[in-house]
Amino acid sequence: MASDDIPESWREALEPALTTPEARKLGGWLRAEEDAGKTIFPPRGQRLAALAMTPLDKVKVVILGQDPYHGPGQAHGLAFSVQDGVKVPPSLVNIYKELESDCGIARPATGNLTPWAKQGVLLLNNTLTVQSGNAGSHAGRGWDAITDAAVAAVAERGDPTVFILWGSHAKKKGGRVRALGSGDHHLVLTSPHPSPLSAHGGFFGSRPFSQTNVFLEANGCGAVDWSLQ
């Protein structure tokens, strides 16, 4: 993974992470996996979409995911998002249910969250690639250093930011916000993951979308239009 691959607004912040042994091996390992005939999602050109669509200086909200969807045609580089025309996955169905309950926004027909990303919502997975049909298969291969550095770069800015952490994995990664001692001017919202396995344990009713907008407006940052219209 070369620095030239990283979108310009993120390059300086992520440069140190790209020099780690794991990160240096990542690009070569991905190429070797593809040369061996393995299908990797999302396809090349979309793996850094979250960073490309949401420049560092435009981030208002961070939503952390674990790794991309591993079904054909689903993942396109944004956490929890799928391409237009693809069936909305169960976790995103539950996110939409909470959005409707929280903000009165009717459930969108599309699972494509690009409009959120373009408004400053960084939809960042911890691991940015996955082998087809094999969830979690690229964990520990070098993405962690890069995405940890991205979270740290956002947290270290002076701009008030909302970190939405769903599930234990996101909470652990989002702990960097507090560990950096820079969390006093940020809002950190935590709840169980929206997966059908855990959503009824406190995700439903957590009201992350309205809380986010109250905080953003109070800090003069402008609310997010969650409607996906």
Q: How far apart are the first and last CA of the chain?
A: 35
- Taking only the tens place, the pLDDT of each residue in 186-221 is 999 999 999 999 999 999 999 999 999 999 999 999
- Catalytic annotation on 67? yes
How buried is residue 37: exposed, middle or buried, by Cβ count under 10 Å (0-12/13-18/19+)?
Answer: exposed
- Taking only the tens place, the pLDDT of each residue in 53-102 is 999 999 999 999 999 999 999 999 999 999 999 999 999 999 999 999 99
Q: Write the CB contacts of 129 (distance below 8 Å, at least 6 apart in sequence).
A: 30, 40, 41, 42, 47, 67, 68, 138, 143
Token pair for 206: 């957590």
Helix (H) or strand (E) segment spanning residue 153: helix 143-155
Of 4, 35, 57, 67, which one is the catalytic site residue?
Answer: 67
Block residue for tokens 């190429």? 31
Token pair for 30: 């991905």
What band does 179 get if pLDDT is binned at 50, 70 and 90?
A: low
